[in-house]
Structure 1
Amino acid sequence: MSTTPGLFALTRRRFATPRSAALVIVALTLLAAFVISAAPRALVGVVRDEVAHQIAGVPATSRDLTGSTIGIPAFGAAADAGIADGWDAGAAEVFGALGQALADNRDGFDTALRPLTAPAQFAEYAERFAVVPDDLPADAPISYIQPLAEPAAAEHLEVVEGEWPTVGAVETELPGGSEVARAVVPIVLSVEAAETMQWAVGERRGVAADASRPAKGVVEELPEYELVATVQAVDTAADRWLHLPTALTATVFDDGNQRPQATSVAWIAADVWPAATAGIMTRTWTTAWYPVDGTAAQSEEPADVLAGLRAATASSVALDSTGQLRMRFESDLVAELSTALARSASASAILAVAAVGPLAVSVALVVLASALIIRRRRADLALMSARGAPLPRLRRLLAVEGLLLGVPAAVVGAVAGVAVTSHDAGPVPTVVAIAMGLAPAAALAFTLRARTLERSARADLDAPVRGRAVRLVEIIVIVLAVLAVGQLVIGGVGAGEAIDPLVIVAPLLATVALALIFVRLHPLPIAAVARAARRGRGVVSLVGAARNLRDPAAGTTAVLAMIVAVAIAVFSSLVLATVDRGAVAAAQREVGGDIQVAGPYFSDEVIDAMRGVDGVVQAAGVLRGDYIDVTGPDDRVSAQAFVTDLDAFTAVQAGMIGAVPPGSVTAGADPVQVGLSAAALEEIGRGDTTVVGTPVEVGAAFDRVLGFTQPDEVVLVDRADYETLTGAGFYPRAVVVDLAEGADAAAVAAELGEAVGTTHSIRILDDSLAEIQASPAVAALRFVLFAALALAVALSVVAVLLVAGVSKDARSRVIALLRTLGLDRRRSRGIVAWEFAPLGITALVGGVVLGAVLPLLVVASIDLRPFTGGGRQPALAVDPVLTGVLIAVVVVALALAVVAGVVSARTISMATVLRTEED
């Protein structure tokens, strides 16, 4: 006969309750598994998107691996004949050796880089020189040509008139009446260049003896250049034309004082190039580039591509057998990929800090929900124990139920995380996510203790006892937190694109340590109130404080969960505000006003016209002047002068982060007042200061003049004072504009352009800010921090509701018993409020303190500059709206819990309580 009759029947009937706690466990496990599975894969996608975003803004000349050197490589054939496939006739014997050197260099590229690069393209060209015909028309410009040869020119050009030069040596003629043999070099011009130069096919021109005076004739000893063909590009939009000197058109320079100058490339056949360059040209360049496929780069591992690019640009390539002529390649992709990886590393670190908190809270709430299940089933568990079920067996049953609740939820969460993210982050995140399904089993099994099965056990009559092991663990955590934070702040973090584990470990340990400290401090004020209540007459404070101390439903788990949840919400709001403020500061540093207009020169009349545009409040011209001597008590520096109308300039930038405050530098003062950059002031020292020998007074120190690139040493001077100090005039080439509130920046910019009239460029503050925030990494950071904030607030509400559920039976019993003694509803609400108010106060105070400490660690250890585009780490900022909303939500949640507690207590009949509980 079984010693445990009815055990499994009781299990099937009773282990379905309470459903609310089981649903919480399922939901939290699914959420945790989803985050663990999806977050790493999503971060991989963010990195790839960031790479795509960065590469998209890089022009071909900056994206391709490009090199240039002065000199002519040794001529000769390639060892591999296949290198010359598709080249022009005769080019293989001239440029083959150069093509071989560049091909060998590409073969040495990193395996991650080689598939992204096409075979090298290259060309050789000479310094420009003037050529003139025998009779130069009066309306024709002086022609300047840059002889250029490349191995496959005919592939990219089609002949419009004439014939491409045939293979052969440079023709040599002996002009009539001359004893000097003269070479004739056949050249090819683009159709547009030939028209601009008024050079007809078949016409010859010699090298001008005096370019400024064409009538002086040509140098007889130098060759003539005969135009044998005009051509046009097969693809005018091809990137290759950006790598070559002016080729498809002629660049015309006309200052109005002399005959215009027209400059263009003149193609020379590859086989003619050696003879054409022999002793003729003063300087010759070799340029080469490996086209980089930006689209393909987005599909590769960015860190590997970056490493390959760094290796390819780290050393020079020998272009001749002696090794004397060398070329080093460069690409802006190195900087762009570094920025992308820096953003991704910073984002990963911040998001890891933000994600660990909610995950820890989720685990804590699973434990709290398990405690609720155990409390609700204590009678059934005690009955099964009394009928012979040993404690290990009950724990195994609870563990099985935990597996049934947790494992399917974890699998669903992990699968969902994989389904919504398309990038691969390896198997580890998915395995860890599924392993989260074991957490409910462990929580249910270990929450059950032998003391719970004792019918006489009354937690509210016995003070909690904490073991030495618990205290030892807490001390170890605090010591480790102090060491990690100290190492993080004092020692710094490791360099590189990868996340330094210390960046995550230190904030995590600090979070746990501070939360534990607040948990230990939590009972102290309650105990003080309890002692004071014993001397008074009020029952609410006495009963409420005593119950909170003896039966703390808001025990360690609940307090930890609430503190960490509030801390993560505060952390997210502060980091969001910091990143947003940093982006605004970066945009202001770039533009210097709501709008900046740059051009060749702005007169006072033009600036006044700009001030008259509808929507413009103020405008100020800015001149980047000469470098002038600034002398102080310690040293002398050469500082660049920034000259402006100071009153208008400071009014435009009023309220901008880092701007010179209005009124800090007075124009026309005696002695003259100037502003100095902090770097210049630190170098010369504080005290008696002179500018170009004139004593001045330093009215303001600033980091930089907003809106302009500049050296470290800068002096800011009013336009009138600048003329007094240097005698130079005021010729601004930029104007910063302040707009009225609500003005349409784009419409105002269009009107400003009409007021300027001449060639100019315009930058708008809002557009610059939008460009910074358009980065996928920035967008992902903002989204995840907002999500973490919302999730933390939601978990806070769940924690309060679980606390209300855990303490429901004991609370109902106390309220029902006190009602038999005459307790009214108002005081019963006060007793219920005592159960939640200390928890809420501790969570708010501890969470706000902890939430403020975490961003300090982030700012100290994680580089936020890639998110803000600025040169300095952004300062910590506070968003009062987000913080206020957070506090309001927690207070509302506590109030709802009080109401729910009172309502639930009223639903329990006094007869039921007296019949089922012992006094």
Structure 2
Amino acid sequence: MSRSPGLVSLTRRRFATPRSAALVIVALAALAAFLVTAAPRALVGVIRDEVAYQIGEVPPSGRDLTGSMLVPPDFGPAADAALTAEWDAGAPDVLGDLAQRLADYREGFEPALAALTEPAQLYTRSEALAAVPEVLSPVAPNGNVQLLADPVLQSATVLTEGEWPAAWDGSSAIPIVLAATGAERMDWPVGQERELQSQFGIQQGVELSVVLVGLIEAADPDADRWQHLPPTALTATIFDDGNRRPEATGAAYVDVAGWPAIDASLRRGQIETTAWYTVDSVAATQEDPATLYTAMRRATAESVPMDAGGTARMRFSSTVVDVLQTSLARSNSASAILAVAAVGPLAVSVALVVLASVLMIRRRRADLVLMSARGAPLVRLRRLLAGEGLAVGLPPAVVGIVVGVLLTTFDAGPLPFLTAILVGLTPAASLALSLRPSTLTGGRADLDAPVRRRGRSILEGVVVLLAVMAVGLLIVRGIGPATAGVDPLVIAAPLLATVALALIVVRLHPVPLAAALRAMARRPGVVGLVGAARNLREAAAGSTAVLAMLVAVAIAVFSSLVLATVDQGAATAAQRQVGADMQVSGPFFTPDQLDAIREVPGVADAAGVLVGDRVTTAGEGERVTTVVLAAESDRLAVVQRALDGGFPGGIAPGTDPVDTVASASLASQVGAGLIESDRAALSVVDTVPRVLGVSTSADFTVVDAQDYRAVTGIGFFPRIVLIALDDGADAASVAAGIDVIIGSAHATQLLEDRTAEIQASPAITALRIALFAALSLAVALSVVAMLLVAGVSRDARSRTIALLRTMGLSRRQGRGIVAWEFVPLGVTALVGGVLLGAVLPLLVLVAVDLRPFTGGASQPALSVDPILTGALIASVVVALALAVVGGVLSARTTSIPAVLRTEED
């Protein structure tokens, strides 16, 4: 005697029927819940990593909060002695009060900024003063010194010769120390005294001299603080125009304790005090970027009093404000693109849950009909199915939520969790609503399926109407600033467009099939006739498969176009920053150095560029203060010939009026014809929005190097060299050769390296990974959809083929009928997917601000990479073809006796 199964066994058997559909629901619920939980939290991390990365790319001199003032502070000690505990002896009693005020100002920082900053550092220095010895060697340059008081001089440097300077008491010469390399360049031996001379820098009637008592070098030459001190801090800069004795300028360090006496001896406005708060880019990952952006703007919004009377005021600035704005814009744009790519697979996941629910209902149809016949009302059956849906949907969703939380660090608020819970509830609603009264009548499911309800038609019409309205709003409104965050309409419009196009494709899908059915009815043979007829009958299951495959193809096209556009944007941004294959910047470059650089093997040409003085220009419009850029114009045009937006050239040197290329901003204000400057008339021959590789204000004008003196009265000594390399040239070897020619501190930047750095940013990397992940997920869902379609239509297919087999249908003809069920779905999805894939990027250009990726003022055009696009579409087509083959293979019919034994019709 066999034992009856227990409750646990019955429950297990019930939930395992059909096992494949239940497993699909479990997997999709867990996957969707994981994605909607982890993706927003991961995006928060990506945004913060992007901000930290971009901040870290900025040199300390621009990254740190830096301020300066020309009015001296109050001299005195700090109220909190701990602030100056590590200073040199005597320094706390002079600059301690300033340190205290800087610390008090930091106390007012918002927490997000305070966590990133360190206590302020500071120094004070004079303008350059001529230091004249009694006898100057014929080969020695004229010497200039900037008297500099650094409260941490003895801990930041190492004394290599002589002694530390003593505090100056107002009598005799001021003791100073120089950087060893600076003293060598200035030909200034230890112990030599030089007289200070300045027509405007020294108080009338005061005689000052300095004596070199020691030589120093940096304890850590790579420390960030040296980028805040003047360029003369560790060396002496040389200026040589070839017409007179060179000028060498170095920083002369004095004892801070004697600074009040030095300050009293110099004219007001000749001393500059600089302070900065170091900003930690790594710590930026722990702060909300929007909050940090607000805090930085507040900290740089107004000047801060640095003395008791409020006359000494310091206003801080940092390029981090602009970096944060750009980083937030780039991250928000990437988030919007990812949202557009993600809504399709998520919609398909929900559709597959519905399809799996239909499969479960069809497999249990006999049990449900029996229960209904024994008196179970429809409402009770739906409650039972809803309970089963909760059992197979909610626990996996909870698991997905937990895994998503464990794998991600940052909090994205409660919305992802609420969405994930709704995902877990979807199977319950789907199972309950999939049970219809017609299911319990015992009729044929495949014959009942084509009956279309009026409510469904109305719902489809509403979806199409909403899609048209959403897309229309995006087109009319245009792109908004990316700093405003992710616009819900940017997500809703592509989602609605995807669903609407899928509905249209599904509605049009039967049209060619009906035509094929009519054609097959006039031809001999049963395969085409039965295959087309069955495909029309099972349209409900086929629509979900069409949606899944359509989204897969669309994401392939969408991903390729977006990635190509972003990559092209990165290349464009790099070109704007570097301006040539290679950029070298640093000290003034002499004509001999420029000629030597052009002779380096691998250099095709090189052009010197100088961001020169400001002049006042006037034309048809108002008067505008303009930056004059001087360049070897013909060479600059050659160097930038292959770059997008390169310098056009067309300047004829030595003309009167002087030929110039003006910025578009300047031309819009003063006109694009003849304009007047302080010293010369200028004739505008062309306009450009910018000069690649040069950072300057929007109002500028470019003149040839030969005409620069006529416009400003100053000679041409460029500080930027833009270099074009020969094809196949070794950039490292070229850079090494240039290093030998320059011989002093300089910076070298390669276009190729800068492009790679931009493309390596966290936002672009995440965008690339997420788009490929969305593509892979969409393809996987397409395969699942095919298998589910095979399962949903199995019974009707088996019945039809079994009956035909009894009438002589061969196995090969049976496989042909099965192929008719899947191949048209793949063809329809491929056509609709290509169409949708071309539409979605256009919506992105309309809705998402891509300017943060390109650095341009206008929205970039779509870029097409034929290789990438072809490879992605080919991979998806192959995957869909395999899915169709898998659907055909999985749709093998059951045995003829089994079908005929279980079917009455």
Query: Could you state the TM-score of these two structures normalised by the residue count of structure 1?
Result: 0.81
Q: 1:76, 1:528 → 2: CA distance? A: 96
In the other structure, the counterpart of 1:105 is 105
Q: 1:375, 1:259 → 2: CA distance? A: 98
1:352 is aligned to 2:335: no
Q: Match of 2:535, SS? A: helix
Show structure 1 runs of 5+ residues with no match.
172-182, 212-217, 668-673, 723-728
In the other structure, the counterpart of 1:313 is 300
Alignment of 1:876-915 (within 5 A): 876-889=862-875, 891-892=877-878, 895-896=881-882, 899=885, 907-915=893-901
Alignment of 1:438-453 (within 5 A): 438-453=425-440
Q: Match of 2:842, SS? A: helix
* Paired AA for residue 795 in structure 2: D
Q: Match of 2:110, SS? A: coil
Partner of residue 505 from structure 1, selected from 478, 485, 492: 492
* Paired AA for residue 206 in structure 2: L
In the other structure, the counterpart of 2:406 is 419
In the other structure, the counterpart of 1:207 is 196
Q: 2:755, 2:826 → 1: CA distance? A: 39
Q: Match of 1:278, SS? A: helix
Instruction: Indicate conservation of the 8 Å contact 1:252/1:260, yes or no.
Output: no
Spell out, residue by residue over 1:571-612, the C-alpha distance to the aligned partner (whole angstroms, 9 max, x if none). Answer: 2222122212222333344456655677655899868856x7
Query: Against the structure 1 CA distance between its residues 748 and 453, is the aligned structure 2 distance closer, same or farther, given a 3 Å change threshold?
Result: farther
Instruction: Indicate conservation of the 8 Å contact 1:21/1:369, yes or no.
Output: yes
Q: 1:605, 1:247 → 2: CA distance? A: 26
Query: Could you state the TM-score of these two structures normalised by the residue count of structure 2?
Result: 0.82
Instruction: Indicate conservation of the 8 Å contact 1:832/1:902, yes or no.
Output: yes
* Paired AA for residue 25 in structure 1: I
* Paired AA for residue 238 in structure 2: F
| Greater Cα shift, 411-420 or 756-765 | 756-765
1:801 is aligned to 2:787: yes
Give the drift of 1:124: 2.7
Give the drift of 1:916: 3.1
1:550 is aligned to 2:537: yes
* Paired AA for residue 432 in structure 2: A
Q: 2:277, 2:453 → 1: CA distance? A: 69
Alignment of 1:370-519 (within 5 A): 370-430=357-417, 432-460=419-447, 463-468=450-455, 470-491=456-477, 492-493=479-480, 496=483, 498-519=485-506
Q: 1:817, 1:294 → 2: CA distance? A: 73
Indicate the percent of aligned positions where both proteins have the same amino acid. 54
Query: Against the structure 1 CA distance between its residues 900 and 63, is the aligned structure 2 distance closer, same or farther, given a 3 Å change threshold?
Result: closer
Q: 1:846, 1:290 → 2: CA distance? A: 57
Spell out, residue by residue over 1:825-857, the C-alpha distance to the aligned partner (whole angstroms, 9 max, x if none). Answer: 555444333322332233222222222222222
Give the drift of 1:312: 0.7
Query: Against the structure 1 CA distance between its residues 813 and 642, is the aligned structure 2 distance closer, same or farther, given a 3 Å change threshold?
Result: farther
In the other structure, the counterpart of 1:293 is 280
Spell out, residue by residue over 1:778-818, the C-alpha distance to the aligned partner (whole angstroms, 9 max, x if none). Answer: 11111111111111112112212211221122122222323
In the other structure, the counterpart of 1:225 is 209
| Greater Cα shift, 353-362 or 42-51 | 42-51
In the other structure, the counterpart of 1:68 is 68
Spell out, residue by residue over 1:887-909, the C-alpha distance to the aligned partner (whole angstroms, 9 max, x if none). Answer: 44555455556555665666433
Aligned residues: 872
Query: Against the structure 1 CA distance between its residues 479 and 391, is the aligned structure 2 distance closer, same or farther, given a 3 Å change threshold?
Result: same
Give the drift of 1:680: 9.1
In the other structure, the counterpart of 1:764 is 750
Q: Match of 1:67, SS? A: strand
Partner of residue 224 from structure 2, selected from 239, 252, 255: 239
Q: 1:17, 1:354 → 2: CA distance? A: 34
Q: 2:165, 2:854 → 1: CA distance? A: 54
Query: Against the structure 1 CA distance between its residues 630 and 838, is the aligned structure 2 distance closer, same or farther, given a 3 Å change threshold?
Result: farther
Partner of residue 571 from structure 2, selected from 580, 584, 589: 584
In the other structure, the counterpart of 1:791 is 777
Partner of residue 323 from structure 1, selected from 307, 310, 329: 310
In the other structure, the counterpart of 2:656 is none
Show structure 2 runs of 5+ residues with no match.
653-658, 709-714
In the other structure, the counterpart of 1:177 is none
Q: Match of 2:331, SS? A: helix
* Paired AA for residue 211 in structure 2: L
In the other structure, the counterpart of 2:845 is 859
* Paired AA for residue 207 in structure 2: P
Q: Match of 1:437, SS? A: helix
Query: Against the structure 1 CA distance between its residues 122 and 467, is the aligned structure 2 distance closer, same or farther, given a 3 Å change threshold?
Result: same
Q: Match of 1:453, SS? A: helix
Give the drift of 1:316: 0.6
Q: 1:750, 1:150 → 2: CA distance? A: 35
| Greater Cα shift, 354-363 or 313-322 | 313-322
Give the drift of 1:78: 5.6
1:189 is aligned to 2:177: yes
Instruction: Indicate conservation of the 8 Å contact 1:76/1:93, yes or no.
Output: yes
1:170 is aligned to 2:157: no
Instruction: Indicate conservation of the 8 Å contact 1:116/1:297, yes or no.
Output: yes
Query: Against the structure 1 CA distance between its residues 689 and 444, is the aligned structure 2 distance closer, same or farther, given a 3 Å change threshold?
Result: same
Give the drift of 1:36: 1.8
Q: Match of 2:316, SS? A: strand
In the other structure, the counterpart of 1:726 is none
Spell out, residue by residue over 1:870-891, the C-alpha distance to the aligned partner (whole angstroms, 9 max, x if none). Answer: 5543321234445444544555
Q: Match of 1:206, SS? A: strand
Query: Against the structure 1 CA distance between its residues 158 and 66, is the aligned structure 2 distance closer, same or farther, given a 3 Å change threshold?
Result: same
Q: Match of 2:131, SS? A: strand
In the other structure, the counterpart of 2:655 is none
Alignment of 1:15-94 (within 5 A): 15-75=15-75, 94=94
Instruction: Indicate conservation of the 8 Å contact 1:745/1:764, yes or no.
Output: no
In the other structure, the counterpart of 2:508 is 521
| Greater Cα shift, 313-322 or 418-427 | 418-427
Spell out, residue by residue over 1:683-718, the C-alpha distance to the aligned partner (whole angstroms, 9 max, x if none). Answer: 6999999999999999xx987676666887999999
Q: 1:241, 1:124 → 2: CA distance? A: 14
Instruction: Indicate conservation of the 8 Å contact 1:481/1:513, yes or no.
Output: yes
Query: Against the structure 1 CA distance between its residues 372 and 880, is the aligned structure 2 distance closer, same or farther, given a 3 Å change threshold?
Result: farther
Spell out, residue by residue over 1:208-234, the C-alpha distance to the aligned partner (whole angstroms, 9 max, x if none). Answer: 4899xxxxxx99943343538436468
Query: Against the structure 1 CA distance between its residues 719 and 424, is the aligned structure 2 distance closer, same or farther, given a 3 Å change threshold?
Result: closer
Query: Against the structure 1 CA distance between its residues 231 and 866, is the aligned structure 2 distance closer, same or farther, given a 3 Å change threshold?
Result: same
Query: Against the structure 1 CA distance between its residues 537 and 665, is the aligned structure 2 distance closer, same or farther, given a 3 Å change threshold?
Result: farther
Partner of residue 572 from structure 1, selected from 552, 555, 559: 559
Q: 1:307, 1:101 → 2: CA distance? A: 23
Query: Against the structure 1 CA distance between its residues 6 and 388, is the aligned structure 2 distance closer, same or farther, given a 3 Å change threshold?
Result: farther
Q: 1:696, 1:252 → 2: CA distance? A: 35
Instruction: Indicate conservation of the 8 Å contact 1:411/1:434, yes or no.
Output: yes
Q: 1:647, 1:197 → 2: CA distance? A: 34
In the other structure, the counterpart of 1:873 is 859
* Paired AA for residue 253 in structure 1: I
Query: Against the structure 1 CA distance between its residues 834 and 141, is the aligned structure 2 distance closer, same or farther, given a 3 Å change threshold?
Result: same
Spell out, residue by residue over 1:707-732, the C-alpha distance to the aligned partner (whole angstroms, 9 max, x if none). Answer: 66688799999999x9xxxxxx9999
Q: 2:140, 2:672 → 1: CA distance? A: 62
Instruction: Indicate conservation of the 8 Å contact 2:341/2:771, yes or no.
Output: yes
Q: 2:311, 2:50 → 1: CA distance? A: 40
In the other structure, the counterpart of 2:711 is none
Report the RMSD for the aligned CA atoms in angstroms: 4.9
1:749 is aligned to 2:734: yes
* Paired AA for residue 846 in structure 1: G
Q: 2:28, 2:470 → 1: CA distance? A: 30
* Paired AA for residue 357 in structure 1: G
Instruction: Indicate conservation of the 8 Å contact 2:611/2:630, yes or no.
Output: yes
Q: 1:685, 1:251 → 2: CA distance? A: 41
Alignment of 1:688-837 (within 5 A): 734=721, 736-737=723-724, 739-740=726-727, 743=728, 745-746=730-731, 749=734, 753=738, 763-824=749-810, 827-837=813-823
* Paired AA for residue 749 in structure 1: V
Query: Against the structure 1 CA distance between its residues 769 and 609, is the aligned structure 2 distance closer, same or farther, given a 3 Å change threshold?
Result: same
Instruction: Indicate conservation of the 8 Å contact 1:554/1:839, yes or no.
Output: no
Instruction: Indicate conservation of the 8 Å contact 2:554/2:837, yes or no.
Output: yes
Query: Against the structure 1 CA distance between its residues 141 and 763, is the aligned structure 2 distance closer, same or farther, given a 3 Å change threshold?
Result: closer
In the other structure, the counterpart of 2:712 is none
In the other structure, the counterpart of 1:146 is 146
* Paired AA for residue 916 in structure 1: T
Q: 2:703, 2:263 → 1: CA distance? A: 53
